[in-house]
Structure 1
Amino acid sequence: MIRRTLAAVLALAVGSALLTACGAGDAADATVGTAGGGPKLNIGPDQHRVRGTKDPKSAALVPARVRGTGTLRIGVDAGGIPPLSFYATDDKTLIGVEEDLATLVADTLGLAPRFEPLSWENLFVGLDSGKLDAVFSNVTVTEERKDKYDFATYRLDQLAMETKKGSGLRVRGAADVAGKSIAVSSGTNQEKILLDWSREDEKAGRKPVDIKYFQKPTDVYLALQSGRIDGYFGPNPTAAYHVATAGQTEIAGTFSGGGAHLKGEIAATTHKGSGLAAAYAAALNKVIDDGRYAKVLARWGLSGEAVPHSRINPPGLPRTAN
């Protein structure tokens, strides 16, 4: 069965043309236009990635068992979520900000990146089984996850409320979504925040949030365009990408994935005690300092999610009550 990138599906759905440039014997390179005249995003297989150079001090922190293989086994999401991790226009090359940052880390550690596209739950199974050395997949640091995994942060965890263009809805908190029909993905931090808002609304005598769940992103956007839902609460990178490429929606509010009292952070994830978190943090801080990190975020429109430095196992989202 042929895989189609969500990016291409969205672009085609709104009639955006993919501009292609073919070299002799090469797969087509493609860019997708952004609404409002912003820079075009390269979604072709030839990514011209920002590459790093080996840093001996960072590389020395890699445990010998990993250093000896010469390879860093990196788990990424197989679901196709631009601009995080998705397939290029050739339907086989993994691209996105996660692959770019993971490649920078591997380069800086003197290792060759080897990507393993897996479902969300199998990313953690891969770490537990020793199949993976790292996961770069929009993983938020939480106190519960810190029981089993070590983290080196590389992006702010930002969430966004996406609405139909011209809806007039502006969301700053619970009262703004009372009685509204909002889509969210199950088991996510944004679902937890939305449930908290709904309970807050009920306690204040307002209508609860009408929470909707969809199996596919395309179903969410169809519901948004048809007016069956008022908004979609998801990761800011995917919302920003869709707003930029489709031009039919807008951001009605952005929020920290950690809620009102904690700045959530996305992190490179490894099994607890593997000894790799220090190496990842050192490599990330090296590319933050030399400017390569900023270039990667800029090419995907995510400069607003930059961290000033990578932290190892910072305070995470609080434990959920049983």
Structure 2
Amino acid sequence: MLIICFFKRRSSWRKGNKRKENIKEFIRTNEFHAIKLYTYSDIKKMTNSFNNKIGEGGFGSVYRGKLPDGCPVAVKLLTNTKGNGEDFINEVASISRTSHVNIVTLVGFSYQKKRALIYEFMPNGSLDKYIGNKESPNKSFQLEWKTLYQIAIGIARGLEYLHRGCNTRIMHFDIKPNNILLDKDFTPKISDFGLAKLCKKKESVVSLSVYGARGTIGYIAPEVFCRSVGSVSHKSDVYSYGMTVIDMLGVRENEDTGVTSDSCFPNWIYEQLEQGFDFSPEGITDEDDKEMAMKMMLVSLWCIQTNPADRPSIRKVVEMLEGSIDSLHIPPKSNFCPPTDESPQQSSTSSVTTQI
């Protein structure tokens, strides 16, 4: 038993050293002009010894902190990391290349003793707090449709920047309401780049063979876990974006529809549209609200097409949202059901040609 314990500890020690060496090498070979390196002692001081937890996830916890100049920050402490520090390196490498109003700003990071990422503080938290089930204890209040509409456009613009505006194309692979942060004016900012992948701007298809399928059940694109559907590309982010917008519409967890998050809810939407459904979700106050909600629904249906080739680029998504509703059509009907925790399902398609 003593021999087994000794080898286990030695193996753990070697893995820990390898992680540190990987991160040190990454820092040595990259320049971070606007991002500061902090010590673990600095992190403890700015968070008052991790006294104010404001979030938690599979990666670890998020704490509210304050820089020496009084600027509020959010400190993401990574405790459940995998591999040899790849997720930490991935996030720093990805977000350090960005500068956009719809991308959260990385202020600094630390890798000594514990790995931590320091972000600008978002006073309104994440998008998931304002959408979803009416009975959700996390839902603070209902946002106006004008605000939801602008949030949808802002997320799309942020993704467009990642896909086309950076020197290196960044594919996020984990777009969902929890990873959309809102500032004091409810401007959306894409966060959490732990699963992101960098690739050359000319590359449209990426290989995930080294990393395996990545994403969150309910938002992950079908081609990511079922390669026979199509190639993994920036269109995989478009699918996740579409699912996020559908959540903003409140369709997946609307008690009145009898639709649950694990069911094939797009089929229900198509059935209602084909029957001339007068789409009027909660909070609609006038025709402008109704038009914005309808545009969000139609665009989201285009984004979640099973075949990646049938989805619009994120640039086209922005154009569709900002354009006239008269130019939008109901997309082909996809019978593909989003994967559940139990088992992925195969796909099939049929078409709908009705014009809205």
Instruction: Tell me the TM-score normalised to structure 2 length.
Output: 0.23
Q: Which has the higher strand share?
A: 1
Using CA pairs below 8 Å that are at least 6 residues apart, which structure has the higher relative contact order?
1
Q: Which has the higher helix share?
A: 2
Q: Which has more radius of gyration?
A: 2
